[in-house]
């Protein structure tokens, strides 16, 4: 269940908790003409970054140019939390990060292991994120729908949205 109070008061902490609990989302490079694709992320909250293993021959890597901006979307398993994150996407050449995030699951995709010539580790340095947290209480949901249908000037209150800035907010 997503905590709507935390989404209002501690949205960044909640985002990292959500990302730590489930690791699948959709990643795409803005303006590339390519569709977003499913990816598994590794969260690095202290760095305000996400990491992804992929193939150097993937469309995602082929579209990367200096200054590439990417979006990563995440939906919680219970569909009560959604996030869209944006930032600069680059290829990381940090072998320590490869070691840190390597797993037998990743290894199954790369025959040559950590030294596979087709292995790429991507780093998404987050600039900002938009989040939406909603209640999973059917009682609250039903009450809000009934209230909104009875009063024409009322919309249902079933969740919270918030914006998180990880870097300096543009003026």
The token pair at 44 is: 């690095």
- 57-74 residue pLDDT tens: 999 999 899 999 999 999
pTM of the model: 0.85
Residues 111 and 167: their CA atoms lie apart, in Å, by 37
CA 57 to chain centre: 23
Q: For the chain, what is the mean pLDDT?
A: 86
- Report how far residue 57's alpha carbon sits from residue 48's, in angstroms, rounded to the nearest whole number: 27
pLDDT digits (tens, 9 = 90+) for 73-85: 999 888 888 999 9
Round to whole Å and give the CA distance between 121 and 67: 17
């Amino acid at each position: 269940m997503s905590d709507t109070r935390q989404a209002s008061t501690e949205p960044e902490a909640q985002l990292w908790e959500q990302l730590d609990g489930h690791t699948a989302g959709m990643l795409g490079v803005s303006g590339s003409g390519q569709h977003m694709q499913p990816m598994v992320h590794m969260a690095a909250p202290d760095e305000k970054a996400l990491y992804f293993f992929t193939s150097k021959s993937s469309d995602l890597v082929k579209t990367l140019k200096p200054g590439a901006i990417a979006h990563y979307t995440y939906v919680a398993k219970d569909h009560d939390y959604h996030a869209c994150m944006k930032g600069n996407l680059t290829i990381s050449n940090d072998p320590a990060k490869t070691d840190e995030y390597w797993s037998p699951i990743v290894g199954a995709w790369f025959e040559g292991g950590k030294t596979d010539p087709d292995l790429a580790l991507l780093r998404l340095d987050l600039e900002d994120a938009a989040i939406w947290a909603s209640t999973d209480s059917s009682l609250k949901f039903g009450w809000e729908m009934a209230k909104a249908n009875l009063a024409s000037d009322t919309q249902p209150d079933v969740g919270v949205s918030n914006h998180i800035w990880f870097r300096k907010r543009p003026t």
